[in-house]
Amino acid sequence: MRDALVAAAFRLFVERGYEQTTVDDIVALAGVGRRSFFRYFPSKEDVVFPDHEGCLADMTAFLAASGAGHEPVRRVCDAARLVLRMYAENPAFSVQRYRLTRQVPGLRAYELSVVWRYERALAEYLRGRFAGRPDGNLHADVIAAAVVAAHNNALRSWLRSDGEGDAGTAVDHALGYVQTTYARSADAPAAPAASGPAGTGAGHPDDVVVVVTRRDAPLWRVVRELETALGRD
């Protein structure tokens, strides 16, 4: 029934246009009542994206099943591949939907709201993995956004080509860029806390000491000023 409603809806969208098609038109073509439609889809917009709720649930479960041994950036990239798999299972439908969302601003806005939910799922997982680290939430949100942007860049390129070629190869390349860019820094342990004020030689190992001296000062004086700044007088 659900598939029949989707098929009827897209047939009418192609023939009449999205705005000109009503729920009554869809159920009439599918041979069911309005109650049957709303049992499966809360609105006409939802019939355009019938598979996203299931995919989001699969992604959430996939991330929830992650263990401490999973490298977090790789894990969210693998989660994004679940979305690709959904699109690649039915290329003709995916291309048709892509064309429709390009034509109807309301559907484009709806699609963006769906994408935001995927991004939030990735970010929530990463926030848990980076908890307690400096800028952990910031890293989580930036990486989640990068994964979604890279995935969508490759996916939309494939959809614009009418589903020609291997979408997986393009998405793997895009997500590989994200992993190369973020994996090492994201998985690094938190920096140790400083044990003393900057410039005393007892602080963070990355502290920077700046010494200001005259250009014509003798080298021994420059060294002496540096030792003083480092607390080695």
CATH of the domain at 89: 1.10.357.10
The H or E element that residue 3 is part of is: helix 2-16
Tell me which of 196 and 150 has the higher pLDDT: 150
Same domain, 26 and 106: no
Give mean pLDDT, residues 207-216. 57
Give mean pLDDT, residues 192-200. 42
221, 212 Cβ separation under 8 angstroms: no
What integer pLDDT is reported at residue 163 of this predicted model? Answer: 86
Same domain, 41 and 56: no
Same domain, 40 and 53: no
CA distance 90 to 163: 10
**pTM for the full predicted model:** 0.75
CA distance 31 to 218: 95
CA atoms within 13 A on the CB side of 78: 12
Average per-residue pLDDT for the chain: 85
CB atoms within 10 A of CB 96: 18
Same domain, 95 and 66: yes
Strands (DSSP E) contained in 59-185 are none
Give mean pLDDT, residues 207-221. 56
Residue type, 25: D
Same domain, 70 and 133: yes
Same domain, 166 and 230: no
Give mean pLDDT, residues 31-52. 92
Q: 161 is written with which tokens?
A: 């080509």
CA distance 151 to 31: 38
What integer pLDDT is reported at residue 160 of this predicted model? Answer: 94
Query: Residue 47: phi, psi to the nearest 5?
Result: -70, -20
CATH code where residue 29 lies: 1.10.10.60
Give mean pLDDT, residues 215-230. 57
Same domain, 59 and 33: no
Same domain, 66 and 43: no
Range of the domain at 205: 193-233
Question: What Rg value do the Cα atoms of the chain yield, rounded?
Answer: 27
Any residues with CB less than 8 A from the CB of 53 and at least 6 apart, and which?
none
- Domains contained in the chain, number: 3
What integer pLDDT is reported at residue 207 of this predicted model? Answer: 52
